[in-house]
Structure 1
């Protein structure tokens, strides 16, 4: 072996020794030096991978469902702005302003002829929306607000045909309407039987801005939305572009099934901003079945004023749960009161169905027919009992008015910011004053309110209120539950006892 060969061999052995040392240092000192070790948990962690893909396009879906979607034109009567004729008085034909006001008069301007008479002829407007067939014999669904006050209704088919429509029935509370056209063999669509999941495709077909047969797509962005539209709010939120004129049109899933009826958009500008709301298919099917049978919707009626179970109310009752619906007041002559439901009860279940809050209770009860008997799981004084209630017909709960008592020497509750006095006008104790920024003010108490119970016990004097608060403090409660009557009805408020 030559000197060069020996030198090269020594160099290779030296490099291999250095590499082995480096690897050994990496394994031993990796944790301290922040190096990644091959078998550590960090090295094994991988990003989430989802083997799923949406359709390349929606052509096949749209081709099948589009003929079932129609444009709805509604002729509505508009009340005159004034029944006194011209706002400027009688304008005879020989007046120099006669032609001007005849041509350019303001909307609702009714012009008097030479004899000074005003014909008060009716004026009409035209509204437009969308709808879709649900049966081959011509029944179709749209929004109530599309056909409201309608005198004549015409549907424009996907092929351009125009057909007169007859109103079968409407439901203002869910904003749904059922109509029918004469004929048979219409292309119709089915409702989805499963609630759509957030992230699924949403395909809206309708008549935005009068442009019939428009298709937009997006995803379901939320379920169970409450937009303050009514007691039965349970909307699907979608981000498919929906605009004026889409009202009453369907939103489909990727199977071509109707998941909802477009009814509202959130828009500061009046145009689409990516938030639209659809009535769920389950609600539509239930309402449509009633409208088809009776032309109206009948709902069960429990007869209670209810409110959420907040954390402070739960503390005042000595319970942990914040679900269920708190009964603020069982209505006189109502089914609940007749069955033994009391103010302060928490309705936790109906026929075994969990009640998350007041909205869910209203929706569950509305699903029953009047006359049906339901079993309520009621939490009272910390224990659960079952009460059977035979439901009545839905009625509006009347607000409880309260007569204000004459001036009296108030009792002051330092820490609560409350001034109380005997209620000479009836039961309970009158609130005569509430300090701004106080605990009572934060809970919405106002002068003129009447406290009828404290800690579940009825009160008739200021001393009764003090006793109720003291009892809650003695029992270690963080808050005391106060039942209040006002012009807005009956409700419960939880006042924190540590501030008393």
Structure 2
């Protein structure tokens, strides 16, 4: 019995020691003063406030003009001004004056100013807009003393890593919040075409958009972009655009481009579910299944086939079509990239040429007018470039790029992204052909369109 007690004491002694160790008081002044302040001192000088404004001039209505004439005589009908404003954050990524922010912060804005941490306000030019990633790049006039933030490696992040979010929530001034990486490669967030986000529980609130997510070395690992909230405030679920995509957009701006050119695969992809995985002999449902390959595309030239399952891009695992789109978009538009596929149970590596989608035929943009059902619609010729830009399946026809509010096109239900295939049984080959057909008029308009992969026909009176 005494021996059993001795053994039990020997087993419990290390545990008691460990418990005592976790309860020990700080042994030095340095341990008492553990702080994120050194990280903030590195990163915060590069985080700025972004102010956008758009001045719209509107004329009084006829009824309002009649009111003024009746009570005040004939007064000049001066246009009224309505000012729309936005507020967000941004990050200086180049000491020459390049600032990256969210596209939604400056969307539709015509005047943009940046407030530095030392309270200097500087006018900014919008040099690149990229709605597909919800990013924009601003250029400040030459300004001394700008501090740029170094890019970090978001691929090195792991769930549980500590991160700081720095921005200007609610316009109250620079604010720092701390949290951890809650998830990686988050999709279905809905704020950009490239759904691949860093999730964090660091508090992100309105006004933080465009601010910095930094690691413990004070390096930029993401641009804060969205929150998941029903109330509009932080509930511990925030999303940031990874630094690797931010760098692609910034590099395009550095090169003088007004848009971001991305590589074109030329294939339609779909997710792999359990049923498909079983049929394809995969151990688990992962990868991006090639549903079709377009003619004369980089995919066809590389030997990609229908039924292949893409597993990796340049050695990086691909879990689904969103993951492929993300990895492929980061590769630029020169050279080649190795793509690993599963074909009939065997792994093969193909070399895909990196090139932008061709704009053949030219888009030949037109805004249609007149009394046809298409009046107020802006249309483009279908091409691989347009299909890629608008996230459509490649097909013939004419693509609707925009529909004016209140127009005839809007009233009959035409939408941005619709593909006009035929009119009164006649195939629509180009924007000029559609314009000719619309101007000719008709007593009845029989319109066939493709929307979301479904073909439908509607009849409208002339």
Query: Could you tell me which residue of structure 2 aligns to residue 399 of structure 1?
Result: 393
Query: Could you tell me which residue of structure 1 aligns to residue 160 of structure 2?
Result: 199
Stretch moving more, 276-285 or 54-63:
54-63
CA distance in 1, matches of 2:65, 2:283: 72
SS in 2 for 1:92: helix
Distance 1:316 1:369, change over 3 A: same
Confirm or deny that 1:133 pairs with 2:92.
yes
Q: Which string of whole-angstrom CA distances, capped at 9 and with x for unpartnered residues, describes residues 181-231 of structure 1?
A: 222321222222353333333222221111222222222222222224344
User: C-alpha displacement at 1:269, in angstroms?
Assistant: 0.8
Confirm or deny that 1:58 pairs with 2:36.
yes
CA distance in 1, matches of 2:14, 2:233: 48
User: C-alpha displacement at 1:359, in angstroms?
Assistant: 1.8
CA distance in 2, matches of 1:42, 1:325: 52
Aligned 1:88-487 pairs, distance under 5 A: 90-93=65-68, 95=70, 114=74, 123-181=82-140, 182-193=142-153, 195-226=156-187, 227-295=189-257, 296-394=259-357, 395=385, 396=387, 398-399=392-393
Root-mean-square deviation over aligned CA pairs: 3.7
CA distance in 2, matches of 1:258, 1:93: 57
User: C-alpha displacement at 1:43, in angstroms?
Assistant: 9.6
CA distance in 1, matches of 2:262, 2:125: 24
Q: Normalised by the size of structure 2, how large is the TM-score?
A: 0.67
Q: Which string of whole-angstrom CA distances, capped at 9 and with x for unpartnered residues, describes residues 166-189 of structure 1?
A: 222122222122212222321222
CA distance in 1, matches of 2:305, 2:288: 12
Query: Could you tell me which residue of structure 1 aligns to residue 401 of structure 2?
Result: none
Confirm or deny that 1:75 pairs with 2:53.
yes
Q: Which string of whole-angstrom CA distances, capped at 9 and with x for unpartnered residues, describes residues 442-462 of structure 1?
A: xxxxxxxxxxxxxxxxxxxxx
Query: Could you tell me whether the CA contact under 8 Å between 2:179 and 2:203 is conserved in 1?
Result: yes
Distance 1:337 1:47, change over 3 A: farther
CA distance in 2, matches of 1:313, 1:297: 35
Q: Normalised by the size of structure 1, how large is the TM-score?
A: 0.63
> Unaligned stretches of 5+ in structure 2?
358-384, 397-449, 455-462
Stretch moving more, 204-213 or 350-359:
350-359
Distance 1:40 1:347, change over 3 A: farther
> Unaligned stretches of 5+ in structure 1?
1-19, 28-35, 99-112, 403-485, 491-500
